[in-house]
Structure 1
Amino acid sequence: MNKWVLSVLSLTLAGGLLAGCGKTETASSGAAASAPAASTGSGSTSLAGKKIALVTQLNIGTFSAQYIDGVKEQTEKLGGKLTVFNSENDLAKMSSNLDAAINQKFDGILIDHGTAEALESGVKKAVDKKIPVIAFDATLQVPGVTNLEQGDQKMAQQTLEQLGKDAGGKGNIVKIWVAGFAPMERRQIAYKSFMDTNKDLKEIAAFGAATNNTALDTQAQMEAILKKYPNKGDITAVWASWDEFAKGAARAIQQAGRTEIKVYGIDMSDEDLQMIQDPKSPWVASAAVDPKDIGRIQVRYLYQKLHGDQTQDTVVLDPVYVSRDALPKDKQVTTDQLAQFVKGWGGSEQGYTDWLKDLEKQAKK
């Protein structure tokens, strides 16, 4: 996909606040309101203390944790209160969580991944009740709902094009990918196009599954692939369509001493950066949008709807390509520092209106 859309299980990293009932509350200043407010044209007192629900399909890995941090940060800056409903990769539970958010009369709902089949009925119910909905990587086609996506085809193209250049236009590729997620399906389109036009690059193996231990499971599967192709030159590179896949593959390759194999991933977190900066790691590059920015932007568009503003059906976030060559060799950097070395990273003003900035100032008082 947010992290979108997979030790590895990072449910507790999502703000460290997961409750046993499958949701997390993060308090902020301001009293909670029980119903959506009509637009006043100023976006000030009518938007104070809003209750915001984030319904996630799964919270796995540091990307998801940083995405949720971004949602929490922006919500609190606007004086709201966030509750996270974690569905643990269970679409039926996600549908139930969405119904719970509607029945509990949240003022606005954010959706992280999921499928139209699981969510469309509940989303239509929310819209009918005048509860605004902003979705991230969920491919919902419900009038009035704004969908955010990361520019997934561009991310895939960026990594694949560099893979092809580094490989000299020929070699054997292992693809790690999983169906059933909107961002993955978009990334697959770019992959197929790339392979169709680069006939000297051969896919010799493909696997991938989103589990509660995705990185560890991927590592075990990659170890089996390495045993099947034990000789130098058998595998040129690994294209991983998700950072959890890249982590597992890189660890397997590094532990096997197969340093000639390079890994190209998608998505970025602090943990990912640490691996990419390690000169011993086969993971050399990734394309991504700052996960915190994704969360921040999603909240901004939700507040625009709460304000009564019109928002577009689809918002595409522009990714950047991050390679080891662009990073310092004498110190470890974090995603908060990455903009110093990679142009276009982080600090996006997308969806950031003047009245939202004013609302932030008022919420501080």
Structure 2
Amino acid sequence: MHKILRKTTMFIGLAAMALASPHGAWAAGKKIGIAAREITNDYNRGIIDGARKVLEAAGDSVVVTDAQTDPRKLNEDIENLINSHVDGIIVQLGNAQQLAPEVAKANAAHIPVVTTSVGALTPGAVTDIDGDDALMSALMSRALLSSINYKGDVYVFSVPGAPILETRKRILEAMVKDYPQVHLHDVPTQHDPAQVQSQMEDILTANPDPGSIAAVWGAYDLLTSGAVQAIRAAGRPEIKVASIDGDRVGFQMLMEKGSPFIATVVQDVPHIGELAGQAMIDALAGKKDFPATMYTDAYVATHDNAVAAAEKRWGPDVWQKIQLDPKAVAAQWPQTGQVVVVRPTLP
């Protein structure tokens, strides 16, 4: 109840801030476009929902487009939003270089652009808002590497060309340089768990002996779920798996009996959207001095803090959503661990 009251108070406060902004007069009734590269998982939906709540609390309307993982369509969607005369655009995911021409077109039309999960400030954008991908990858990679005692063959599933995923993978590669007994195997893939499952099945077939595969590193939970499915079907629970996001599917994998999944890094996804919505309100009210990037908190969910971590991210009704019993989880893995929230320290 306290959490609900805090959130309600926050949104009322955000609306009040918008209506009485120190940066200029705010007229409710703005039309804001959210251009998403894809809407496939809880991460995507959480950002959109967070932004929508803040903007609608301020009296604005929101229109959402879905490029279905196609960067070219994302650019087309942004152009269509510009041509439809929206007052502001929030972009979810993408590449700063690829987005720059579209942001320039929006600027020419006096339409502010806020980006989320791009991983860098696009020239002309107000700000970029993310989880700290370098920090989250360090947390997840540490958990995975320690689970295999820093030795063995690790298969790395990521999507080439996705900037925040490239960052996550680079951090792993940098860490592994200190551990010569760890051998990384790059497995480029697409945003498709079914493709990952097929790729993992081939890897398992080529490496049938227990111990021949130490671990699987996945760039994000939904993507990694394909590898977990393949490992479970092959009866190879000795293989350790971890990824990032704290999606509901991530918690399901973490807490299901017999799952090889050992950790996910949970990020405050709704707050990414909330910050984006507030940045848009402030930009339209005349504010100019935004930081280039803003980051949200994160924490590691493992077997020994899974119940508290799941409820922190999703609330007490998470158990109906993921169809698991917290008492059964605690019976299998005593809940002795704490949820330790970390955040980047910025000047």
Q: TM-score, normalization: structure 2?
A: 0.80
Q: Which amino acid aligns with 1:170?
A: K
- Counterpart residue number, 2:266: 288
Offset, 1:232: 0.7
Offset, 1:276: 1.1
Superposed CA offset, 1:8-63 (max 9, x none): xxxxxxxxxxxxxxxxxxxxxxxxxxxxxx99755797241221100111111232
Q: 2:200 aligns with which of 213, 218, 222?
A: 222
Moved more, 94-103 or 44-53: 44-53
Within 2, Cα distance between the matches of 1:253 and 1:108? 45
8 Å Cα contact 1:327/1:341 also seen in 2: no
- Counterpart residue number, 1:326: 305
Q: Is 2:267 aligned against 1:263?
A: no
- Counterpart residue number, 2:150: 169
Q: 1:210 aligns with which of 179, 190, 203?
A: 190
Within 2, Cα distance between the matches of 1:295 and 1:168? 37
Does the residue aligned with 2:26 lie in a helix, a strand or coil?
A: helix
Within 1, Cα distance between the matches of 2:54 and 2:341? 20
Offset, 1:345: 8.7
8 Å Cα contact 2:217/2:242 also seen in 1: yes
Q: 2:91 aligns with which of 81, 86, 111?
A: 111
Offset, 1:67: 2.5
Using CA pairs under 8 Å that are at least 6 residues apart, name the structure with larger relative contact order, 1 or 2: 1
8 Å Cα contact 1:286/1:321 also seen in 2: yes
Q: TM-score, normalization: structure 1?
A: 0.77
Does the residue aligned with 1:257 lie in a helix, a strand or coil?
A: coil
Within 2, Cα distance between the matches of 1:326 and 1:40? 42
Q: 2:211 aligns with which of 233, 251, 254?
A: 233
Q: Is 2:71 aligned against 1:91?
A: yes
Within 2, Cα distance between the matches of 1:105 and 1:341? 48
Would the alpha carbon gap of residues 231 and 299 (structure 1) be closer, same or farther in structure 2, given more than 3 Å must change?
A: same
Within 1, Cα distance between the matches of 2:338 and 2:56? 29
Query: Deviating runs (4+, > 3 A) in structure 1?
Result: 38-45, 331-334, 338-341, 343-346
Offset, 1:140: 4.2
Within 1, Cα distance between the matches of 2:226 and 2:297? 26
Does the residue aligned with 1:328 lie in a helix, a strand or coil?
A: helix
Offset, 1:156: 1.0
Within 1, Cα distance between the matches of 2:45 and 2:125? 28
- Counterpart residue number, 1:200: 181
Superposed CA offset, 1:124-158 (max 9, x none): 12123221111012234314521122211111111
Would the alpha carbon gap of residues 97 and 231 (structure 1) be closer, same or farther in structure 2, given more than 3 Å must change?
A: same
8 Å Cα contact 1:66/1:269 also seen in 2: no
Q: Which amino acid aligns with 1:119?
A: L
Q: Which amino acid aligns with 2:114?
A: I
8 Å Cα contact 1:208/1:245 also seen in 2: no
Superposed CA offset, 1:88-144 (max 9, x none): 122222111111111111111100112234321110121232211110122343145
Within 1, Cα distance between the matches of 2:176 and 2:70? 33
Q: 2:52 aligns with which of 59, 72, 76?
A: 72
Within 1, Cα distance between the matches of 2:170 and 2:246? 21
Moved more, 250-259 or 124-133: 124-133
8 Å Cα contact 1:170/1:201 also seen in 2: yes
Would the alpha carbon gap of residues 344 and 161 (structure 1) be closer, same or farther in structure 2, given more than 3 Å must change?
A: closer
Task: Give ranges in structure 2 of 5+ residues lacking alignment.
Answer: 1-17, 319-336
Within 1, Cα distance between the matches of 2:125 and 2:183? 43
Does the residue aligned with 1:197 lie in a helix, a strand or coil?
A: coil
Within 2, Cα distance between the matches of 1:265 and 1:41? 40
Does the residue aligned with 2:75 lie in a helix, a strand or coil?
A: helix
Offset, 1:288: 3.0
8 Å Cα contact 2:24/2:286 also seen in 1: no
Q: Is 2:98 aligned against 1:101?
A: no
Within 2, Cα distance between the matches of 1:342 and 1:47? 41
Within 1, Cα distance between the matches of 2:65 and 2:125? 22
Moved more, 176-185 or 333-342: 333-342
Offset, 1:69: 2.0
Give the superposed CA RMSD.
2.7
- Counterpart residue number, 1:250: 228
8 Å Cα contact 1:172/1:237 also seen in 2: yes
Offset, 1:256: 1.2
Aligned residues: 305
Within 2, Cα distance between the matches of 1:343 and 1:76? 32
Does the residue aligned with 1:46 lie in a helix, a strand or coil?
A: coil
8 Å Cα contact 1:149/1:183 also seen in 2: no
Q: Percent identity?
A: 26
- Counterpart residue number, 2:123: 142
Does the residue aligned with 1:198 lie in a helix, a strand or coil?
A: coil
Q: 1:316 aligns with which of 291, 295, 302?
A: 295
Superposed CA offset, 1:170-204 (max 9, x none): 1111111122111012112211111111111112x
Moved more, 122-131 or 95-104: 122-131
Q: Which has the higher helix share?
A: 2
Would the alpha carbon gap of residues 158 and 343 (structure 1) be closer, same or farther in structure 2, given more than 3 Å must change?
A: closer
Within 2, Cα distance between the matches of 1:66 and 1:147? 16
8 Å Cα contact 1:55/1:110 also seen in 2: yes
Does the residue aligned with 2:271 lie in a helix, a strand or coil?
A: helix
